[in-house]
Amino acid sequence: MELLKGVLVVAVLVVFELPDAWGSLRGLAQEPFGLQEKQLLQGPVKPLDWWYPVVPEVQSELAVDFQLRQPVTPSSVAVECGENRVLVEVQQDLFSNGQLIQPTGLSLGGCPVVGQDSQSRVLIFEYELQDCNSVQMMNEDELVYTFSLTYTPEALAGTPITRADGAIVGVQCHYQRLHNVSSDALRPTWVPYASTKVGEEVLMFSLKLMLDDWTYQRPSYSYFLGGIINIEASVKQYNHVPLRVFVDGCVATQVPDVNSLPRYSFIENHGCFVDAKATASSSRFMPRSQIDKIQFQLEAFMFQESTSPSIYITCVLKATIASTPSDAQRKSCSFANGHSEGK
């Protein structure tokens, strides 16, 4: 979820009113000097009963350790992917700040809210996978449908202001592509060991944004330009011999469609990190600590003249038996000072 940030500054003006003591002073100034001297000689001098107001001393401001609190992405959107439909439930307290959003300001790829649970304060979307401007992507193992859940804040009733930020949440449904399909019933008299082993060899790939120390997954998807994005690719091997994972290629786009323009390919040629070569950045692969994981760093960027602050990163991962040596089809090389460093 992408949140827009704002800071409200309030200025207060205070006006002080002084007693009108200037009139008496002006009166004295207008009288002739001789008359003033004569009046002073006729009797005792009357002490002044008015003084300049005492201006209180302004205390210097103390140095306070203050940091503007950065917003975090709330967990207020739930998704259920069916065989041919998607169900999305959104809490009206979308930002977890007590401000309830209106159904008219929320859409799923242009499709409106179809239901509302007033007791639990939940807004409901339910549509076909091909509806609501969904984007379909396909790789070797999965079929992915991507939707954009968009919230546009509306002014509070009777006022020109709003106390909520706009937001865009990406919603995806993943479906496995590989299935054993046959028109005839298969009834073997015995189950060969090879077929049993293939059924157990389930590989799960993942791509995560990590904290600076690589200990946990990063809870926020927001970065400052020029900052470092830590990305970790891994494979779970279950009942399989040890595997080594590689990043075959990575592409950045403005929308979830990997073939859209503009697009920026920063890992290509079966594992070469070319961002540092093209932009002289510090992007690189990290030393491998586990054979089933590979970590790399990418300097944050955005597309020139883009009106969207978001980028989508799509990577192709592959795994081989750990004992297999690296070659031209399976490698992880970075560039430093224009020279390649292979792993």
Task: Report the range of poorest mean pLDDT among 51-55, 114-118, 260-264.
Answer: 51-55
pLDDT exceeds 90 at position 125: yes
- The DSSP secondary-structure symbol of 97 reads S
Average model confidence (pLDDT) across the chain = 76
Domains of the chain: 72-177 (2.60.40.3210), 200-343 (2.60.40.4100)
pLDDT of residue 147: 93
CB of 332 within 8 A of CB of 285? yes
Q: Is the pLDDT of residue 2 over 50?
A: no
Give pLDDT tens digits for 176-218: 876 544 444 444 444 444 444 444 456 788 899 999 999 999 8
User: What are the pLDDT digits (tens) for 236-289?
Assistant: 866 667 889 999 999 999 888 888 988 899 999 999 999 888 888 889 999 998
pLDDT value of position 250: 93
Ordered DSSP codes for 188-210: -SS--HHHHHHHH---EEEEEEE
Query: What was the pLDDT predicted at 193?
Result: 42
Copy the structure tokens of residue 223: 């970065």
DSSP 330: B
pLDDT of residue 314: 92
Q: What is the DSSP string of 151-190?
A: E---PPTTSS------EEEEEEEEEE------SS----SS
- Cα dist from 81 to 47, 86, 88, 237, 314, whole Å: 91, 5, 9, 25, 21
Looking at residue 276, its pLDDT comes to 86
- pLDDT tops 50 at residue 311: yes
- Per-residue pLDDT tens for 15-34? 444 445 445 545 544 555 44
Kindly state the average pLDDT of the residues 316-329.
Answer: 87
If one counts every other C-beta atom within 10 angstroms of the C-beta of residue 63, the result is 6
pLDDT of residue 13: 42
184 vs 113, residue with greater confidence? 113
Torsion sign, CA atoms 138, 235, 168, 99:
positive
pLDDT at 63: 62
